[in-house]
Amino acid sequence: MRKTEKYITYLFLIALVFSCTKDDSGNDENEIVQEVVEDQKEDVNNTTSTDTSSSQNQSTSTEATYDRSSFLINIADNIIIPSHNQFKTDLIELQEASNAFEEETNDSNLNILREKWIASYKSWQHIEMYNIGRSEEIYFNSKMNIYPVNIDRLENNVSTGNYDLDNANNFSSQGFPALDYLLYGVGSSDSEIVEKFNSVSGYKAYLKDIILKMVNNTNQVIDSWTSYRDVFVSSTENTATSSINKLTNDFIYYYEKGFRANKIGIPAGVFSNDVLPDRVEAYYSKIYSKDLALEAMIAIDNFFQGKHFNSDETGDSLKTYLDFLDVIKNESNLSTLITEKFSSAKTSIESLDDNFALQLEQDYVKVLGTYDAIQLGVVLLKVDMLQALSINVDYTDADGD
């Protein structure tokens, strides 16, 4: 009896020491990236849910646990970095067109400038969903695409020539929405706009400055990826700050807020008593809000399926992750459900007028229908997918029970 008592006392003391030193700090407590692993290997290669003729899928891991590294590598190397590089290319062209417009301010150059603007705005749709690394640090998204543009602030900046674009107060007076206003909104006709640029020098200076800012910020982000990439792909832990966790949370946040609410929901008056047509993206251009929404929808779908940027190849992604988990056998396949919802959302967007503001004025109920279609995807992502992956939406620091 004595021996056992001694043994118990030691064990008890060890338990006490253990309890005092175990780091159960809040950071780790509630972020649980889970995958339920089936012993049977899921062959994911067969699904060709995208309408491409030859999709080569990466073969799934045959290990006990999902290859999260492969997932991150695919996203970083084949999606994030190429899409950012494309964006930079388009921005440079935008900058060149802006320079040409500055030198010869006429209708023709205005139109070229506009073309470059919408081209780069569309490229932007492929990267707005990321808010990680340097992007997050410098508030990249906020400096690129906060709309509606704050006209008073912008005009004030133009007339005083005195502004700090890094100041948070100026987030809504720079970036694409500011360009939207400058290129389409400062006058009621093309000739009026050209006239304004010719007569008020502040506009040219401002145009130059905000584009330069966009280029600089983009360079910062792209440059950081040369070293950040390795950090990013190796961060597979199940914590709040791991790449997988942040990437997934950012994606869901973007789908719910940047895409669903900003482009469709808020203008359609879902969150307010009345319809707000002037809150659509690219409002002043009038004809591009639908183009941008469609481009974003494509980007969302591509990310989910792990489709390489500018290619038909796919690799490890949230889709393959979910397919690997496929916990309850007699439930419908979750990733298929999600891509179906994306598809119907896309169809719904396509049925709207090119000019969202006009669509809202004429028949806003149709836009609400599009909102509902998008909303179905939100539930699947935020509830079903997060439960399967067991990633918590947020960082809540408290005990669970």
Partner 1 sequence: MFYNSKLYFKKYTSPEPLAVFRILFGLMMFLSIIRFWSKGWIETLYLEPKFHFSYYGFDWVKPLGELTYILFIICGLSALFVSIGYKYRFSIITFFLSFTYIELMDKTTYLNHYYFISILSFLMIFLPADKFFSVDNLKRKNYFAKIPKWTIDSIKILISIVYIYAGLAKINSDWLLKAMPLKIWLPSKYDIPVIGDYLLQQEWVHYLMSWSGMIYDLSIPFLLFYKKTRAFAFILVIIFHLFTAVLFPIGMFPYIMIVASLIFFDSKFHNKIIRLIKIIISPIKKYNIKKVEKFKYVYSKLITSIVIIFLIIQLIFPFRFVIYPGNLFWNEEGYRFSWRVMLMEKMGYTTFKIVDGVSNKYFYVDNKDFLTPFQEKQMSFQPDFIIEYAHFLGNHFTLQGHKNIEVYADSFVALNGRRSKRFIDPNINLMKEKRSLKHYSWIIPFKDEI
Site for partner 1 in 23-62 (CB under 8 A): 24, 26, 28-30, 32-39
CA dihedral (324, 325, 326, 327) in degrees, to 10, reads 150
Q: Answer yes or no whether residue 377 interacts with partner 1 by CB under 8 A.
A: no
Q: Answer yes or no whether residue 152 interacts with partner 1 by CB under 8 A.
A: no
Q: Answer yes or no whether residue 17 interacts with partner 1 by CB under 8 A.
A: no
Among 17, 168, 231, 379, binds partner 1 (CB under 8 A): 379
Closest separation in Å from C-beta 342 to partner 1: 17
Structure tokens given for 119: 């081209």
Question: Which of 271, 242, 295 lies closest to 128, judged by CA?
Answer: 295
Q: Answer yes or no whether residue 312 interacts with partner 1 by CB under 8 A.
A: no
Asked if 370 and 348 touch (Cβ cutoff 8 Å), the reply is: yes
Asked if 250 and 259 touch (Cβ cutoff 8 Å), the reply is: no
Asked if 121 and 147 touch (Cβ cutoff 8 Å), the reply is: no
Closer by beta carbon to partner 1, 282 or else 338:
338
Q: Answer yes or no whether residue 241 interacts with partner 1 by CB under 8 A.
A: no
Q: Answer yes or no whether residue 358 interacts with partner 1 by CB under 8 A.
A: no
Q: Answer yes or no whether residue 198 interacts with partner 1 by CB under 8 A.
A: no
Question: Which of 56, 31, 26, 58 lies closest to 42, judged by CA?
Answer: 58
Closer by beta carbon to partner 1, 189 or else 271:
271
Q: What is the DSSP string of 235-287?
A: ---SSTTSHHHHHHHHHHHIIIIIIIIIIIITTTTTTSSS--GGGSTTTTTSS
Closer by beta carbon to partner 1, 34 or else 310:
34
What's the rounded Cα separation, in Å, for the pair 59 and 68?
A: 13
Q: Answer yes or no whether residue 397 interacts with partner 1 by CB under 8 A.
A: yes
Among 159, 272, 310, 362, binds partner 1 (CB under 8 A): 272
Asked if 357 and 286 touch (Cβ cutoff 8 Å), the reply is: yes
Site for partner 1 in 318-347 (CB under 8 A): 327-328, 331-332, 334, 337
Q: Answer yes or no whether residue 271 interacts with partner 1 by CB under 8 A.
A: yes
Closest separation in Å from C-beta 241 to partner 1: 13
Q: Answer yes or no whether residue 9 interacts with partner 1 by CB under 8 A.
A: yes
Structure tokens given for 283: 């409002």
Question: Which of 254, 252, 235 lies closest to 244, judged by CA?
Answer: 235
Closer by beta carbon to partner 1, 199 or else 398:
398
Among 11, 17, 168, 231, binds partner 1 (CB under 8 A): 11
Other beta carbons within 10 Å of 135: 25
Closest separation in Å from C-beta 55 to partner 1: 26
The residues, ordered by sequence, that sit 6+ positions from 341 with a Cβ below 8 Å of its Cβ are 373, 376, 377, 380
The residues, ordered by sequence, that sit 6+ positions from 309 with a Cβ below 8 Å of its Cβ are 78, 79, 82, 83, 86, 126, 302
Q: Answer yes or no whether residue 380 interacts with partner 1 by CB under 8 A.
A: yes
Closest separation in Å from C-beta 364 to partner 1: 12
Closest separation in Å from C-beta 35 to partner 1: 5
Q: ∠ CA(220), CA(223), CA(225), 5° rounding? A: 115
Closest separation in Å from C-beta 395 to partner 1: 8
Q: Answer yes or no whether residue 212 interacts with partner 1 by CB under 8 A.
A: no
Asked if 300 and 339 touch (Cβ cutoff 8 Å), the reply is: no
Binding site for partner 1 (CB under 8 A): 4-5, 7-9, 11-12, 15-16, 18-19, 22, 24, 26, 28-30, 32-39, 64-65, 237-238, 265, 269-274, 327-328, 331-332, 334, 337, 378-380, 382-384, 386-388, 390, 392-401
